[in-house]
């Protein structure tokens, strides 16, 4: 009877976490608040990670050049992700602070300004992607064959970047409000449609045209676009805690400028991080398509593990913002440390699986022995630092949730540009380690980031940040 009651209680809690509810995250047990937010956020990111795996699974059937084209394009798209994540960091911090202070109308105004920022950025990135797709691939080191096969993919994915930006920004508003279940459903809808359309548009199944690797980008853009429509339906309806109206789309200069000010730090910190990955891809591309394909598959596996873990970081950021808004900084700090502990356990367990079964996991995507060799090698080296990475990820998100986006900029600058890029080039080229030098540089840089993030967080200066 006790076991049955326990199981019933768990199911009830899960249903509550996955449905809309009016929980006050500034009161009650921290573990409960963290779980209610983290469960839908982790499931949201789990779907994103499944998408990343499925996408490369279908593309891999087209050969190493197709995977390389995806890898080189994704390296560039990470800059858009960096901008989207940076902007969403600001939106989450400002929305959560106002929700914690009991002012949902002010939070809705923040959401309206975020929409206009997303439109402006998407107009620029979309134009550049459509106009210069081939040049972008060439700059990334792609040969003529890869450019011919992958230019359509690059053009569609970058041209449809408005769906990337809106999906991140609007989910940031929902998460900041504590409506994590709606954010989860938006991403599940977007990626679920993408997964269904992927093989149809890549291989030309049924009535669909055979578009090759371009079909993968088309499926992704369509899926994300439908997810954005769902987000707008929720935000401009009466279901969420930030009920927006058309009047909230009026430009509010003071709010817009504050959003942009905080976003600068968020964007720069992620541009620093993602640009370092672009440099790594460029270094690895010197060793051929097999090395880049293996690296791309390893990164997708890396995302598969880290995106759910990122959900815990997002939960911590929301709790920081709402508790600071409610005037409870100590509860905000305790929430971050608990989330960091849980994340270290989760990713530590995943790292064991990745280290032991590296070849088998990479082999699920391609049977090329050389690709498997490079991919497994990269996956193992990245996995050695998972527990360290987990702690740093949550601490950085905690700082961002408080609106302190400047400190992570400095930490990322030190770890990625001062340490990772020069070390990767030295180990790969000068020391003769080849691609393995790049993997080792990532391990060193990410570990350093976690240590410095812990030192910065313990100072407590983020508690005084005004947003």
Residues in the chain, overall count: 467
Q: What is the pLDDT of residue 416?
A: 93
How far apart CA 452 and CA 8 sit, in angstroms, is 43
Q: Which sign, positive or negative, has the C-alpha torsion 91, 93, 98, 99?
A: positive
Domain boundaries, the chain: 30-464
Can you tell me which residue has the tokens 């990670």? 49
Q: pLDDT tens digit string along 58-110? A: 888 888 778 777 777 777 777 788 788 888 989 999 999 999 999 999 999 99
Those residues whose C-beta lies under 8 Å from the C-beta of residue 192, and which sit 6 or more positions away, are 47, 223
pTM: 0.82
Chunked into runs of 10 residues, the chain (467 residues) has average pLDDT values of 61 72 82 87 77 77 79 75 85 94 94 93 87 80 75 86 91 91 91 91 91 89 95 90 92 93 88 82 86 84 80 90 94 94 92 94 88 92 88 94 93 94 93 90 91 94 89
* Nearest alpha-carbon partner for 312 in 398, 370, 227: 398
Q: Given the structure tokens 């109206």, which residue do they identify?
A: 245
End-to-end CA distance of the chain: 50
Over the stretch 108-148, which tens digit does the pLDDT of each residue have? Answer: 999 999 999 999 988 988 888 888 888 877 877 777 777 87
């Amino acid at each position: 009877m006790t076991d049955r009651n326990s199981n019933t209680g768990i199911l009830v809690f899960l249903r509550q976490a996955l449905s809309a509810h009016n929980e006050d995250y500034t009161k009650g047990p921290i573990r409960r608040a963290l779980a209610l937010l983290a469960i839908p956020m982790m499931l949201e990111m789990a779907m994103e990670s499944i998408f990343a795996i499925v996408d490369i699974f279908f593309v891999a059937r087209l050969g190493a050049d197709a995977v390389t084209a995806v890898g080189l394009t994704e390296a560039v798209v990470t800059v858009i992700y960096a901008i989207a994540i940076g902007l969403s960091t600001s939106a989450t911090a400002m929305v959560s602070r106002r929700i914690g202070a009991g002012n949902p109308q002010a939070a809705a105004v923040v959401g309206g300004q975020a929409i206009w920022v997303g439109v402006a950025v998407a107009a620029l990135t979309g134009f550049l992607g459509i106009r210069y797709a081939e040049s972008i691939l060439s700059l990334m080191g792609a040969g003529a064959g890869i450019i011919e096969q992958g230019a359509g993919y690059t053009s569609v994915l970058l041209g449809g970047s408005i769906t990337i930006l809106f999906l991140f920004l609007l989910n940031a508003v929902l998460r900041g409000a504590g409506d994590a279940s709606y954010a989860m459903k938006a991403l599940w809808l977007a990626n679920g449609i993408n997964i269904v359309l992927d093989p149809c548009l890549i291989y030309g199944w049924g009535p669909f045209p055979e578009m090759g690797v371009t079909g993968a980008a088309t499926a992704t853009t369509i899926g994300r676009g439908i997810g954005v429509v769902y987000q707008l339906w929720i935000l401009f309806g009466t279901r969420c805690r930030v009920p927006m109206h058309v009047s909230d789309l009026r430009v509010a200069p003071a709010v817009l400028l504050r959003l942009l000010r905080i976003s600068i730090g968020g964007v720069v910190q992620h541009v620093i991080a993602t640009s370092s990955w672009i440099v790594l891809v460029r270094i690895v591309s010197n060793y051929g398509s097999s090395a880049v394909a293996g690296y791309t598959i390893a990164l997708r596996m890396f995302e598969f593990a880290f995106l759910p873990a990122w959900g815990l970081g997002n939960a911590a950021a929301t709790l920081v913002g709402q508790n600071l808004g409610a005037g409870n900084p100590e509860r905000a700090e305790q929430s971050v440390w608990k989330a960091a502990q849980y994340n270290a356990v989760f990713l530590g367990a995943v790292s064991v699986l990745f280290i032991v079964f590296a070849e088998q996991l990479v082999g699920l995507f391609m049977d090329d022995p050389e690709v498997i060799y490079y991919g497994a090698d990269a996956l193992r080296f990245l996995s050695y630092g998972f527990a360290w990475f987990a702690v740093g990820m949550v601490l950085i998100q905690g700082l961002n949730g408080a609106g302190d986006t400047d400190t992570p900029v400095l930490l990322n600058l030190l770890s990625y540009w001062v340490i990772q890029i020069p070390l990767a080039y030295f180990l790969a080229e000068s020391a003769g380690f080849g691609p393995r030098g790049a993997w080792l540089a990532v391990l060193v840089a990410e570990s350093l980031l976690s240590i410095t993030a812990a030192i910065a967080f313990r100072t407590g200066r983020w508690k005084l940040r005004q947003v």
